[in-house]
Structure 1
């Protein structure tokens, strides 16, 4: 049985919450606070937690890799993070915090088999031209099954994200246009995308450019051209992520989905993850 792109997208939706718990679990916030980060808001710890595999990267590199954030927002957080602590300390803190969180939230679910399959999937995913995926793949594998599952989900997630950036670039969508066009197809309310730090003027300028390209109507909704363009971006993203799934095979991918589902449901039902996200996903 072949791997269909729908299965690739469904696996992303199943594994995304496993990865994303690093940005919302109180255990990670506690570790981040001990390092010296302000955890009253999300962003002072988010940027170093995600960027640490790149080393002490500057705001230009982080803006390029993360793509959708206003560079001014990145500049406000990234240099400051490396004045507080080191990437090595952040990597240690995020592993320790995630391990505690997953062991608590996953409860009695045995994740050993899921971790093994997820690792096999992550180790076969291509990281050429994928800086965030490759940076995470360069890190040593943990031994605890909960952390193996999380590390695999993170490699797969960031590799897919790098591919998504490639798809956006191919479609000619700059960072602001990527968000505006996604909001236009109803992926999430415009207010959700405000978290990326773009001003109202910058948002309006991107909308005007997309109207001129025929992707958007003046009321902020997508035209058929815009809907087709966004569909193509998502299809390309799935296709770029698909080779590893095809190599693992439909039977094992299906087994991984079966094993991960209760863990994902436990994470979603915890209430820690946001109701709506800039990825077009919600709980």
Structure 2
């Protein structure tokens, strides 16, 4: 379900309609990060860089501060959220078109999202508190957003339980071949910080001298992913296997449309589009 829903949410960070909306608010669009941090953090309100770095977890605090410190002096979070919804509306109309199963998919996804517990999950809670839009494509996008942040909040819990700090989480993920190390540079850690994290993992026997994961390192990451799945399971258990399977079938078309749009990067830190 994550693989099917994540590309729908992620369109916001790459669509030209979203960059146009960000520019209209006053955010720079030469790179995607000014709008990314504004779009994703706005449900938290006018949160400062410390709170945003805590919730986003894998980003360097210095990188977060670079973009978040001035974010709410450019536009109020409420205005960002309104522009975000307009951008999603335009993007989904362009990418998804008139899918006959969209209304049913949106209703099922909303039920799953409303069953997602938000205790201890700051990003899921912030998005769950927003009012639901009316149009099915917007309901589907908002449900996908709540569910992906619910899963992400749980993933942070699993990383903490495994003793992986933010940069170690990335180094260990790269070590199992999730993506080339160059892809993780987007998270803003310096070469020295990356190297120091690798040394810490090596001291725990989790990576070898080349930086590749050892058997223990692979087992630790497998445990993190398994725990993440377990912590993300409640919405789907509430929906039930039959209706979850129905939603998966209905999401096939939107998933293909999102992946086929060419907007999402082929290599990324999350594995979008991989099966």
Could you give the per-residue CA deviations for residues 129-150 of structure 1, whole angstroms, max 9, x where no partner exists?
0000000000000001000000
Instruction: State the TM-score, normalized to the length of structure 2.
Output: 0.98
Residue 122 of structure 1 contacts residue 155 of structure 1 at CA under 8 Å; is this kept in 2?
A: yes
Structure 1 partner of 2:172 = 181
Structure 2 partner of 1:35 = 25
Could you give the per-residue CA deviations for residues 40-66 of structure 1, whole angstroms, max 9, x where no partner exists?
101011101000000000000000000
Residue 163 of structure 1 contacts residue 240 of structure 1 at CA under 8 Å; is this kept in 2?
A: yes
Give 1:1-283 correspondences, 5 Å limit.
11-110=1-100, 111-282=102-273
Give the whole-Å Cα distance in 2 for the aligned partners of 1:60 and 1:69: 11
Residue 7 of structure 2 contacts residue 273 of structure 2 at CA under 8 Å; is this kept in 1?
A: no
CA drift of 1:108 comes to 2.4
Residue 16 of structure 1 contacts residue 157 of structure 1 at CA under 8 Å; is this kept in 2?
A: yes
CA drift of 1:107 comes to 1.6
Question: 3-state SS of the aligned residue for 1:201?
Answer: helix
Could you give the per-residue CA deviations for residues 112-157 of structure 1, whole angstroms, max 9, x where no partner exists?
0000000000000111100000000000000010000000000000
Q: What stretches of structure 1 move > 4 A for 4+ residues in a row?
A: none
Residue 7 of structure 2 contacts residue 272 of structure 2 at CA under 8 Å; is this kept in 1?
A: no
Task: In structure 2, list runs of 5 or more residues that go unmatched.
Answer: none
How many residue pairs align between the two structures? 273
Could you give the per-residue CA deviations for residues 148-178 of structure 1, whole angstroms, max 9, x where no partner exists?
0000000000010000000000000000000
CA drift of 1:282 comes to 4.2
Give the whole-Å Cα distance in 1 for the aligned partners of 2:88 and 2:17: 7
Task: In structure 1, list runs of 5 or more residues that go unmatched.
Answer: 1-10
Give the whole-Å Cα distance in 1 for the aligned partners of 2:250 and 2:106: 9
CA drift of 1:281 comes to 3.2
Give the whole-Å Cα distance in 2 for the aligned partners of 1:218 and 1:26: 42
Instruction: State the TM-score, normalized to the length of structure 1.
Output: 0.95
Give the whole-Å Cα distance in 1 for the aligned partners of 2:4 and 2:118: 21
Residue 69 of structure 1 contacts residue 197 of structure 1 at CA under 8 Å; is this kept in 2?
A: yes
Residue 276 of structure 1 contacts residue 282 of structure 1 at CA under 8 Å; is this kept in 2?
A: no
Q: CA RMSD of the aligned region, Å? A: 0.8
